[in-house]
Structure 1
């Protein structure tokens, strides 16, 4: 099948032989839909790549893969889809992703170049300086190139910054209704946890390349630290304004649950996972039909009268 290779997939949570698709969803609190897709082509399928596999390259024609299609990183596919979706006249006020994309400094830089705010998942291993850190100018002897300004203290990992703030910095936040029965007005228990929000200056090679001046840009670092856990369990990085209320920041980063819900509905009810495209065109045809069916079901669910949605 087109683009099948041994690669990591979030569905299985491991490296396995599979196809990998990248999707773009439009989402709000009560509705979401997949509006753009790309089939990821591994380097082993690209004849121009040093990692090309002759057997897989030979199957490109049989699989109907266009000659112009080569290996492109997933984060770049995501940026390409964002550009295409915006060209349709659709506004994208905020980009929310998991750490698979948020960890890529080039992806975050691409969003900043497009003036798109983001709230992305990141790994705890990334480094940063506190927001109040300032670069200093080393002494210059007057010969050779002047030394560049630098931060006097080494950058710390995101996890260390949050742990240094302490458990007392965590604040309880409730952000949406869950699926479990509860005592609320709706009859469902609200989702809640504890969060630490810090203003930081992300460090790292990719970040420095994206910075024009000596001072690193200031960003939000949000960490979920449940009362029952000895340390933070999840981290996000955001370019949203500094005065944003904690509850709003949490609600926005947690909006990505809509995408997980989309995938569950498309796989379990609409057959997204019941087909492995043998050809490039077949894969795109299948995901397009599944997305259209999912969008129709969403309209049916939201419409006061299902007959009104059926006419859309």
Structure 2
């Protein structure tokens, strides 16, 4: 335990380097230690009871809720450290719900969250994670502000708008779609000097044309989940320019046949195009190198030209860009069950596409660890800044655990 305590003190000293006051260093270190200690509940009061001489409930509550420290400074140091430790192959975007009983906390509203699998009363946090096959770490966060909290929207709720001041929500902060929050965080993370090699996301972001175009404008490749509704033309399709009659605006080139759903294109390719792929070892016993069963399924990858009104408006008269559609088609299923879209080069191997598409499990693993063991969803404060402080400190606790795994179990990490 002595070595763990020393390692934690060195780690927090590095993360809190920008703090100018000794009390911020002390209570920041104590808060992270409280998140790491055994205990079912990781809100301030039960943590204080377990912290011994550092168990000052009032000081801990002040540090996380009211102390004027900028979480972005801490997140930048965290990103630098984890980039060096993980050497990420991708940055993953996702969001998670923080279930709430009352409505007094910042940005709480009835909204859908995958955490509950339904519309419920909650906050939603958007996060970006540095990831590789063997490790991952959340390095940036945003609290999603629903339209009901934005006085500039028709959906504004007067009671929620009236609570903005008490919750410390900045007066100039309005509703921003989650995909735009993700792009803003990617921009900020890159401004810290962190290299973003590739962006992964689920269909909640992949179905947004604006999100994909935003990544393209930033020169970032992506592998994103999509639903069955996005449409595309086969890669072999070419636009045709109708003859000009000499009157009015010249016609622009258009594809002669209507775009079809990605599901229809995959089904048309048929089972003969499906290939088996194994992408990593899972958690069940098997015959893998580490004694674990390898994850395996069947996939088909097609070159297509994504369509849709937003894409047509952005590329009118120009040939649509080629992309990959990846579809998972298990042997026992009559049709594909999951789809991804990627702008990686045409010579990208199928195994690479599958491995990257399936790397999203890392973010789900991060959320599970942070909620079950590190108190991510246990913050009982109601302020906007307090929420951002707490998720940042929970990210530090998670990163500390990850660094210890990489340091003291290098063989396991290498084999993964």
TM-score category of the 2 structures, normalised to the smaller one: over 0.9
Q: Distance in 2 between matches of 1:214 and 1:305?
A: 52
Does residue 185 in structure 1 map to residue 266 in structure 2? Answer: no
CA deviations over 1:222-265 (Å, ceiling 9, x no partner): 00001011111100000101001100111011111100100010
1:300 correspondence with 2:404? yes
- Tell me if structure 2 keeps the 8 A contact 1:109–1:210: no
Could you tell me how far 1:121 is from its partner in structure 2? 0.4
Partner of residue 63, structure 1: 167
Task: Show the 5 A alignment for 1:23-172.
Answer: 23-172=127-276
Task: Check conservation: 1:169, 1:196, Cα contact below 8 A.
Answer: yes
1:211 aligned onto 2:211? no
The Cα shift of 1:141 comes to 1.9
Q: Provide Cα deviations, 1:120-173, integer angstroms capped at 9, x if missing partner.
A: 001111100000000011122222212221101110000000000001111000
**Equivalent position of 1:20 in the other structure:** 124
CA distance in 1 between counterparts of 2:294 and 2:329 reads: 17
Give SS of 2:377's match: helix
After the TM superposition, which segments of 4 or more aligned residues of structure 1 sit over 6 Å from their partners?
none
Report the Cα distance in structure 1 between the residues aligned to 2:209 and 2:220, rounded to whole angstroms: 14
Farther-moved stretch of structure 1 (206-215 vs 219-228): 206-215
Higher helix share: 2
Structure 2: tracts of 5 or more residues without a match: 1-104, 411-416
Please tell me whether the aligned partners of residues 328 and 338 of structure 2 are also in contact (alpha carbons under 8 angstroms): yes
Distance 1:227 1:305 in 2: 37
Shift of 1:213: 4.6
In the other structure, the counterpart of 1:175 is 279
After TM superposition, give the deviation of residue 273 of structure 1 in Å: 2.1
CA contact (8 A) 1:140 1:147 kept: yes
Mapped pair 1:234 → 2:335: no
CA displacement, residues 255-310 of structure 1 (integer Å, 9 cap, x when unaligned): 1110010001001111112235411011111101110000000000110379xxxx
- Normalised to the residue count of structure 1, the TM-score between the two structures is 0.96
Tell me how far apart the structure 2 counterparts of residues 274 and 188 of structure 1 sit (CA, whole Å).
33
Q: Could you tell me how far apart the structure 2 residues matched to 1:209 and 1:192 are? A: 40
TM normalised by structure 2 equals 0.72
RMSD over aligned Cα atoms? 1.2
Alpha carbons of structure 1 residues 183 and 209: separation in structure 2 relative to 1, 3 Å = same
Pair 1:283-2:387 in alignment: yes
CA distance in 2, matches of 1:126, 1:37: 28
Conserved? CA contact 2:300–2:328, under 8 Å:
yes
Segments of structure 1 that go 5 or more residues without pairing to the other structure are 307-312
For the pair shown, which has the larger CA radius of gyration, 1 or 2?
A: 2
Offset of residue 209 of structure 1 = 2.7
Of the three residues 75, 96, 113, the one matched with 1:9 is: 113
CA 1:122/1:277 → structure 2, altered by over 3 Å: closer, same or farther?
farther
Distance 1:305 1:102 in 2: 35
Residue 309 of structure 1 corresponds to none
